[in-house]
Amino acid sequence: MVKKIFFVLGIFCVYVMSWMSYGGIAILMGIESACIPLPSELIMPYAGAMSIPEVNAELSRQYGVALPQFNLWLAGLAGAIGCNLGSEVAYWVGAKGGRRAIEKYGRYVLMSKHELAIADRWFEKRGDIIILVARLLPVIRTFIAFPAGVARMNRPKFHIYTFVGSFPWCLGLAWVGQKLGHELMSDHSPLKAVMHKLDAAIAVVIVVVGVWFVRSRLKAFKQYREDDKKAAEASEKSGSSDKSDKTAKGDAKKAAEDAAE
């Protein structure tokens, strides 16, 4: 199930990049940076692998589409630009709606309140510079734009830090994809021989990571549902209490009127 999900996501990434070239990389990374769970660890290695003619041809054959051949540096640049575009959306939500808006819309992208709290705490403790550092860290990099928006961080500085931190991340992942593509296309590659021997172990790792990812998103969704249920119950109790108070006041008023007569 999990492997199928990642396979579908991989197909989605390849088709978007085949259709929009470097713009596709920017759009995909923008989606990730807007806090929608589409991992950059999947997007950029594909882009890096597509910088190799042999790998490009093999992917074209597998997916049945004509693929552009990327330049590694331009792919990293497109990814960093996409991070800025997506982060602008998250920054805007934080700046316009504050924390309540983040908690309200976070449920739609399955962002947990725990992840938001971590980003909030990091930004509060380390200030603006954490925007740059966080872009080099998995998970936290995706959500750090929200507290920056809430704090109304200087926008030009926010985008400069986002770009400077995102470029090495995107370039590094693309480089990994390129190297893996080179290794796996070579019949004499030691890595290919090792990976064949460790197919089962690699499959287990992929499944474990995939299960963790899916479970963490479902846990976030479940938490939002439980919070909504508690809020509804509290509202219902409050409404019943108000109604009882009004009834009691009405009875007391009537009693007072009857006594006056």
Residue with tokens 């860290």: 137
**Torsion angle of alpha carbons 123, 91, 8, 61, nearest 10°?**
-110
Structure confidence at residue 242 (pLDDT): 56
Q: Is residue 32 within 8 Å of 87, Cβ to Cβ?
A: no
- Look up residue 51 and give its DSSP letter: T
**Is residue 239 classed as helix, strand or coil in its secondary structure?**
helix
In single-letter form, the type of residue at position 141 comes to R
Q: Quick one: pLDDT band at residue 199, thresholds 50, 70, 90?
A: very low
Residue 73 has pLDDT above 90, yes or no: yes
Of residues 2, 29, 228, the one with CA closest to residue 113: 228
Of residues 150, 67, 58, the one with CA closest to residue 101: 150
Gap between the Cα atoms of 233 and 174, Å rounded: 49
Structure confidence at residue 195 (pLDDT): 41
Gap between the Cα atoms of 148 and 156, Å rounded: 12
Residue with tokens 């479970």: 215
For the ranges 51-55, 181-185, 203-207, the lowest mean pLDDT is seen at: 203-207
**Is residue 14 classed as helix, strand or coil in its secondary structure?**
helix
Backbone angles phi, psi at 136, to 5 degrees: -100, 5
Top mean pLDDT of 38-42, 66-70, 222-226 is at 66-70
Gap between the Cα atoms of 173 and 48, Å rounded: 7
For the ranges 13-27, 55-69, 159-173, 199-213, the lowest mean pLDDT is seen at: 199-213
Residue 224 has pLDDT above 90, yes or no: no
State mean pLDDT over 59-72. 86
Whether the CA torsion 236, 241, 242, 247 is positive or negative: it is positive
Gap between the Cα atoms of 149 and 1, Å rounded: 37
Q: Is residue 74 within 8 Å of 21, Cβ to Cβ?
A: no
Of residues 238, 224, 209, the one with CA closest to residue 42: 209
Half-sphere exposure of 17 (CA within 13 A, CB side): 33
Gap between the Cα atoms of 222 and 260, Å rounded: 57
Structure confidence at residue 79 (pLDDT): 94
Gap between the Cα atoms of 167 and 35, Å rounded: 18
Question: The pTM is what?
Answer: 0.67
